[in-house]
Amino acid sequence: MAIEQIKMPQLGESVTEGTISKWLVSVGDTVNKYDPLAEVMTDKVNAEVPSSFSGKIVELIASEGETLEVGAVICTIEIEGQDRTPQETITKNQTEENVQESEVSAPNKARYSPAVLKLSAEHAIDLTQVSGSGAGGRITRKDLLAIIESGVVPTPQPKAEAIPTAPARNPVETAAPAQIDVPVSTGDIEIPVSGVRKAIAANMLRSKHEAPHAWTMVEVDVTNLVAYRNSIKSEFKTKEGFNLTFFAFFVKAVAQSLKEFPQMNSMWAGDKIIQKKDINISIAVATEDALYVPVIKHADEKTIKGIAREITELASKVRAGKLSSADMQGGTFTVNNTGSFGSVQSMGIINYPQAAILQVESIVKRPVVMDGNMIAVRDMVNLCLSLDHRVLDGLVCGRFLKRVKDILEATTKENTSIY
């Protein structure tokens, strides 16, 4: 008999921690190798953690709702025999010995993930004065984001004799933001914050805190586009088996414009800006209690039909709970269909670390002045762009939006193919 550990996997290249959203097994259960053990949620994806062994569950170390760093032990399994080869066992033991030695020689650094060290360095946070909320008191990125948001950043303390007398702070300024005193009355409903909601909150907070947001908008006359799509949508659905939505036309126009204005397809990387070669469009898909952002890869190389198919398939995966980590990775620019809810103007939060997000609002009929002296009812839509002003300036954003507008207004049956 042997006891083996199952650890928190890395579900993405930039993922440093995950939250156990639901255990799929209990202590005493017998599992086979590759059977799912738990559902894990990160700021990028929900996924199942498979068993690396066949055996019996001995202990569930992590609790549901608990956030742990990648590599932390989440449960243990009792197995009969060894699934590893002798060489694998030797390598594993040597690795564990090396880790133990490094923890003894540097006990403090062993507690900090690369994301925590990066944030602490950027904001001059003294980690020795921070209490961690992770497993075993580990300090997580969320702990530091809460401190940064509070505005009370712990810095290295001088010696006692060098501390000058200072006026007392207002209690509001020093209060920890983790616990907020909200009055609760009879009939109020307290809803626990789910793991996915915590991840969304952390990612949105990081985006707003780190990226200086700016905002701009253009209105587009899509009368010809609406007429073209409406004239072929029934035939298309019968032939292809899925809907031809207006959104597919907008995504295609954005992808084409990104190819012509590659600065928009960039990311901030501290001492440099990374201009991405591939044009991978992230699209926002909402469920009843969460928001997911799957990616249409190489959107500039796809037809309107191909984009429409991917939108349908990705949305179906989200709503069926089958979205994979690969479906969420690699996005370079986000397009959000806020118009599906009837919105006509909105300011999106950038999908970090991308440099911009475009909100496609609702298509509405409005009176428009035509040819200088005529008023006509036209199908109009607002395109609202939020941008990271470290990466992008108004000039390139204005030209980019104008190009998207020109493409959409020129979309007709005569000069636009969906295939």
| Domains of the chain listed by start with CATH number | 2-108 (2.40.50.100), 213-409 (3.30.559.10)
Q: Is the pLDDT of residue 156 over 90?
A: no
**DSSP for 9-31?**
---STT--EEEEEEES--TT-EE
pLDDT of residue 367: 95
Helix (H) or strand (E) holding 407: helix 394-409
CA angle 295, 300, 302 (to 5 degrees): 80
User: What are the tokens at 342?
Assistant: 């009837």
Does the pTM exceed 0.75? no
Q: In the β-sheet with 46-50, what is the strand arrangement from edge to edge?
A: 46-50, 36-41, 17-23, 67-69
Question: In terms of C-beta density within 10 A (0-12 exposed, 13-18 middle, 19 or more buried), how is residue 80 classed?
Answer: exposed
Using N-to-C axis directions, what is the helix angle for 195-210 and 141-150, rounded to 10°? 50
d(CA 359, CA 357): 7
Q: Is the pLDDT of residue 159 over 80?
A: no
Residues contacting 170, CB < 8 A, separation 6+: none
User: What are the tokens at 310?
Assistant: 């991917």
Beta bridge partners of 76: 5, 59
> Which residue from 364, 371, 373, 378 is spatially nearest to 409, judged by alpha carbons?
378
Q: Which of 20-34, 185-199, 224-238 has the lowest mean pLDDT?
A: 185-199
Query: Would you give the end-to-end CA distance of the chain in angstroms?
Result: 60
Q: Are 237 and 243 in contact (CB under 8 A)?
A: yes
- For residue 167, give the amino acid letter: P
Mean pLDDT of 220-242: 97
Convert the pLDDT of each residue in 292-320 to its tens digit: 899 999 999 999 999 999 999 999 998 88
d(CA 376, CA 369): 6
Convert the pLDDT of each residue in 316-368 to its tens digit: 998 888 888 788 889 999 999 999 989 999 999 999 899 999 999 999 999 99
Active site residues: 389, 393
> Which residue from 208, 267, 258, 281 is spatially nearest to 390, judged by alpha carbons?
267
pLDDT of residue 179: 63
Helix (H) or strand (E) holding 52: none
Q: Are 220 and 367 in contact (CB under 8 A)?
A: no
> Which residue from 347, 351, 322, 315 is spatially nearest to 334, judged by alpha carbons?
351
pLDDT of residue 418: 95
Q: How far is CA 134 from CA 5, 15, 138, 141, in A?
A: 19, 15, 5, 10
Sign of CA dihedral 96, 98, 104, 108: negative
d(CA 268, CA 262): 14
d(CA 141, CA 132): 9
pLDDT of residue 13: 57
> Which residue from 191, 197, 198, 195 is spatially nearest to 62, judged by alpha carbons?
195
316: phi then psi, degrees, rounded to nearest 5: -65, -40
Range 237-244, long-range pairs (CB < 8 A, 24+ positions): 240/305, 240/308, 240/309, 242/308, 242/309, 242/312, 243/308, 243/312, 244/304, 244/305, 244/308, 244/418
Residues contacting 389, CB < 8 A, separation 6+: 211, 212, 213, 214
**Confidence tier at 155 by pLDDT (50, 70, 90):** low
Q: Is the pLDDT of residue 87 over 50?
A: no
Mean pLDDT of 26-45: 85
pLDDT of residue 14: 61
Q: Which of 162-171, 289-298, 320-329, 381-390 has the lowest mean pLDDT?
A: 162-171
